[in-house]
Structure 1
Amino acid sequence: MTSKYEMIIYWSEQDQSYIVEVPELPGCMADGNSYQEAVRNAEQVINEWIETAKELGRSIPEPKGRLLYA
């Protein structure tokens, strides 16, 4: 399943891996040794984040898609 949440992907020299942050889902992050692995891991973590939020009765933000910057 491909999510529609924005992902910020960058290389971390300190961690020697790609890091993915999902700003619309607080605390939702993943990493991977390759760009593709990091994105796959992020998709899995997004799904787990949503499942956990549902189980806890918390609201799940609607994906906004691309954020606009001024």
Structure 2
Amino acid sequence: MNSLYSMVIQWSDEDGCFVVFLPEFVGLVMQPCTDGQTYEEAARHGQEVIASLIEWFEAEGKPLPQPRTIPQQPLSVA
């Protein structure tokens, strides 16, 4: 599935793997939402979670969050 949702993938020393955050879904699902032993595996898992979330939101009749696009809604830097 091709979507416009963002993923942030970071190495976690604590977890010993790459963890995936979904910025548009903050407050809607636990973050980080998935992980992987490699960057590629984490990205694949992140795409699977996004696809599952889209299916679940649609099945429940819930509105999906707006995808962030550059330059209109850049990621916040804390």
* The two structures share one fold, judged by TM-score above 0.5: yes
Superposition pairs of residues 1-70 of structure 1, within 5 angstroms: 1-25=1-25, 26-27=28-29, 29-66=33-70, 67=74
- State the alpha-carbon separation in 1 of the partners of residues 40 and 64 from structure 2: 25
**Structure 1: segments with no counterpart, 5+ residues:** none
Count of matched residue pairs: 70
RMSD of Structure 2 on Structure 1 (CA): 1.9
49 and 16 in structure 1: CA distance in 2 versus 1, 3 angstrom threshold: same
- State the alpha-carbon separation in 2 of the partners of residues 33 and 4 from structure 1: 24
- State the alpha-carbon separation in 2 of the partners of residues 33 and 69 from structure 1: 26
TM-score (norm 1): 0.84
TM-score (norm 2): 0.77
